[in-house]
Amino acid sequence: MSIEKMEATELLGFNKFEVDEEEPHIVLDKEICKKCQEKPCLTVCPAVLYTLDKNGDISFDHAGCLECGTCRVMCKNKGIQKWTYPRGTFGVNFRYG
Amino acid sequence: MSGDDKFDAIIIGAGPAGSACAYTLAKAGKSVLMIERGNTPGSKNVTGGRLYSYALDLLEPGLWEEAALERKVTHEQIMMLSKEQSVKIDYSNPAYNLEGQIPHSFTVLRAVFDEWLAGKAEEMGAMVACGILVDDLIEENGRIVGVKAGEDDMYADVVIAADGVNSFIAQKAGVFGDLEASTLGVGVKEIIELPAKTIEERFNLKDGEGTALLILGCTEGIHGGGFLYTNKESISLGCVFTPTEAAENGRQIHDIFQDMKMHPAILPLLEGGQTVEYGAHLVREEGFRGIPQKLYKEGLLVIGEAAGFVINVGYSIRGIDLAIVSGIAAAQAIISGKAPGPAYMEQLASLKLLPSMKAVDRYFDLLEIHRLYSTYPNIATDVFHLLFTVDGNEPPNVKKEMLKILKENNLSVWQLMKDGIRGVKSI
């Protein structure tokens, strides 16, 4: 394979994740997100995990999270209800870092 | 683990800061527990990355010879990009890499390096517990006496927060407030595998030698820049953006980074490679002015990136060396037997960490000049285009053309002079 422009989902596919299905480490209050005008999360999440669904609502998946914390510091309207690191052993496992 | 055990020190986070601290404490005979949330030390960490060697030598002379490092940096490069053109400056100095002496700096991969360093701390007698997330601190009468992780309570004379840029522990203890988005950079990075031989041929390196390349003009004018480090058999290619400006810009940072990767000056360096990992990390950009007077509370010390120890002067970025030095400083403060907090601040001064950060504090103002991220790289490539183009026509009047270039880039001579003066003042 040669070097090419890649979608975030494709890039995340190279990583090793141990997804915590029981306890997401990031939880949104979608009602607040709905009212948020700026929605910076759409732009700044390196993994592009925040997207708009058909209704124009924020859709989010914690599964490919790189645990950088950017969405947390950018979310001024507190649509992010909870942001913690994943429970021990869960989340991304960098092999190179 | 029994809840009754009491350690001399509990360290939260097995990055370079935590491990350097654990190593120094354990070597002095202290009982140390280092708790890491990743499955292995380093598995949650991302760096640019390069390590300046003096710090490792400060930890233990000669330790670098067996360290899990990538390549010794023999070439320092700065590149400026406009849409399709590029200008590159290459600096090399054999004195940085004399035979028989410790090389000046190395490229590193954090998952590999951190695991090795934590292993060294373990060899010294520190206990390393992985896969455990510390949830909270235990406080008694205004003093931190231990940590809570799930059902477990663990106690120590002193707790050391080495939990990285987001440092919830330092925030919980009240040493830091929450992070301010405008004082941060968000970095994204791809690791691209390439054979060692290809890297050496392509970057004009001998066996074991490496390149550190910083890139300006690849962020659509957003405060930030790109980087490329050659590892043994891979390349670390990344880009850092101020997230507040990225949000205003409106394009996904991932997308801007992918465009940088495809730039005609970058792509040939990567060709034939295979991406094997995609990482991201926040970086503290504020330097000295963002650090509180007291990096401690009774029973707690804050070290490494949790303490804001990052130096970005535009042409070089330091973090891992400062992390190691701060870990040593904290350990020596504890070993000294004095009140750990004030002794730690003294050590940070005597090991030249805080004075180093203070000395380059004004670079922050220089890097606030937005024209650095788009206008000046454009002007640079326009000027080189002017100088190097030979087409059989009468060569243009360089002075006149230069003024035209400034005008085309919406920059007045007056503004250029003002930035120049500001630049000189900042450094």
Query: What is the nearest CA distance from B170 to chain A, expressed in angstroms?
Result: 14
CB A69 within 8 A of CB B178: no
Q: Which of B38, B276, B282 sits opposite A14 (nearest CB)?
A: B276
Q: Is the pLDDT of residue B303 over 90?
A: yes
pLDDT of residue B152: 96
Contacts of B186 in chain A (CB under 8 A): 44, 46, 68, 70
Per residue in B243-256, pLDDT (tens digit) is 999 999 999 999 99
Q: Backbone phi, then psi, for B159, in 5-degree steps? A: -110, 135
The end-to-end CA distance of chain B, in Å, is 52
* Chain A residue set in contact with B, beta carbons under 8 Å: 1-6, 8, 11-12, 14-15, 18, 38, 40, 42-44, 46-48, 66-70, 72-74, 84-89, 91-97
pLDDT of residue A2: 85
Contacts of B46 in chain A (CB under 8 A): 66, 68, 94, 97
Contact B131/A70, CB-based, under 8 Å?
no
Per residue in B194-230, pLDDT (tens digit) is 999 999 999 999 999 999 999 999 999 999 999 999 9
Contacts of B14 in chain A (CB under 8 A): none
Mean pLDDT rounded to a whole number for chain A: 95
Q: Which of B180, B272, B280 sits opposite A68 (nearest CB)?
A: B280
Q: Which of B178, B192, B279 sits opposite A97 (nearest CB)?
A: B279
Contact A97/B109, CB-based, under 8 Å?
yes
Give the integer Cα–Cα distance in Å for B408 and B387: 17
Q: Is the pLDDT of residue A1 over 70?
A: no
Which of B168, B277, B282, B284 is the mutation pick for testing A, counting most A CBs within 10 A? B277
Per residue in A23-57, pLDDT (tens digit) is 999 999 999 999 999 999 999 999 999 999 999 89
pLDDT of residue B1: 44
Contacts of B253 in chain A (CB under 8 A): 43-44, 46
- For the whole model, what pTM was predicted? 0.96
Spell out the residues 6+ positions from residue B123 whose beta carbon is closer than 8 angstroms to its own: none
Average pLDDT score over residue span B412-421: 91
Contact A3/B251, CB-based, under 8 Å?
no
CB B225 within 8 A of CB B239: yes
CB A96 within 8 A of CB B112: yes
Q: Which of A4, A5, A14 sits opposite B278 (nearest CB)?
A: A14
Query: What is the nearest CA distance from B305 to chain A, expressed in angstroms?
Result: 13
Amino acid sitting at position B69:
L
Burial class of residue B250 in the structure, from the number of CB atoms within 10 Å of its CB (0-12 exposed, 13-18 middle, 19+ buried): exposed
Query: What is the nearest CA distance from A85 to chain B, expressed in angstroms?
Result: 8
Average pLDDT score over residue span B12-19: 98
Contacts of A85 in chain B (CB under 8 A): 37, 44, 133, 166, 168
Assign B2 a pLDDT band (cuts: 50, 70, 90): very low
CB B273 within 8 A of CB B235: yes
Q: Is the pLDDT of residue B276 over 70?
A: yes
Q: Is the pLDDT of residue B288 over 60?
A: yes
Query: What is the nearest CA distance from A94 to chain B, expressed in angstroms?
Result: 5
Contact A88/B186, CB-based, under 8 Å?
no
Contact B180/A95, CB-based, under 8 Å?
no
Whole-complex ipTM: 0.97
pLDDT of residue B414: 92
Contacts across the A-B interface (CB distance below 8 Å): 157
Average pLDDT score over residue span B142-153: 96
Q: Is the pLDDT of residue B268 over 50?
A: yes
Which of A26, A39, A72, A73 is the mutation pick for testing B, counting most B CBs within 10 A? A73
Give the integer Cα–Cα distance in Å for B292 and B283: 17
Q: Which of A8, A69, A72 sits opposite B254 (nearest CB)?
A: A8
Amino acid sitting at position B323:
A
Kind of pairing, strands B6-12 and B152-161? parallel
Contacts of B42 in chain A (CB under 8 A): 94, 97
Helix-, strand-, coil-residue percentages of chain A, each rounded to 5: 25, 20, 55
Percent over 90 (pLDDT), chain B: 95
Per residue in B29-66, pLDDT (tens digit) is 999 999 999 999 999 999 999 999 999 999 999 999 99
Contact B272/A2, CB-based, under 8 Å?
yes
Mean pLDDT rounded to a whole number for chain B: 96
Per residue in B160-192, pLDDT (tens digit) is 999 999 999 999 999 999 999 999 999 999 999
Q: Sign of the C-alpha dihedral, residues A76, A82, A84, A90?
A: negative
SS3 for chain B is: CCCCCEEEEEEECCCHHHHHHHHHHHHCCCCEEEEECCCCCCCCCCCCCEEECHHHHHHCCCHHHHCCCCCEEEEEEEEEECCCCEEEEEECCHHHHCCCCCCCEEECCHHHHHHHHHHHHHHCCCEEEECCCCCEEEEECCEEEEEEECCEEEEEEEEEECCCCCCHHHHHCCCCCCCCHHHEEEEEEEEEECCHHHHHHHCCCCCCEEEEEEEECCCCCCCEEEEEEECCCEEEEEEEECHHHHHHHCCCHHHHHHHHHCCCCCHHHHCCCEEEEEEEEEEECCHHHHCCCCCEECCEEECHHHHCCCEECCCCEECHHHHHHHHHHHHHHHHCCCCHHHHHHHHHHHCCHHHHHHHCCCHHHHCCCHHHHCHHHHHHHHHHHHHHCCCCCCCCCHHHHHHHHHHHCCCCHHHHHHHHHHHHHHC
CB A85 within 8 A of CB A29: no
Kind of pairing, strands B317-318 and B311-312? antiparallel
pLDDT of residue B5: 75
In terms of CA atoms, which chain A residue is nearest residue B281? A68
In terms of CA atoms, which chain A residue is nearest residue B250? A43
CB B128 within 8 A of CB B41: yes
Contact A85/B133, CB-based, under 8 Å?
yes
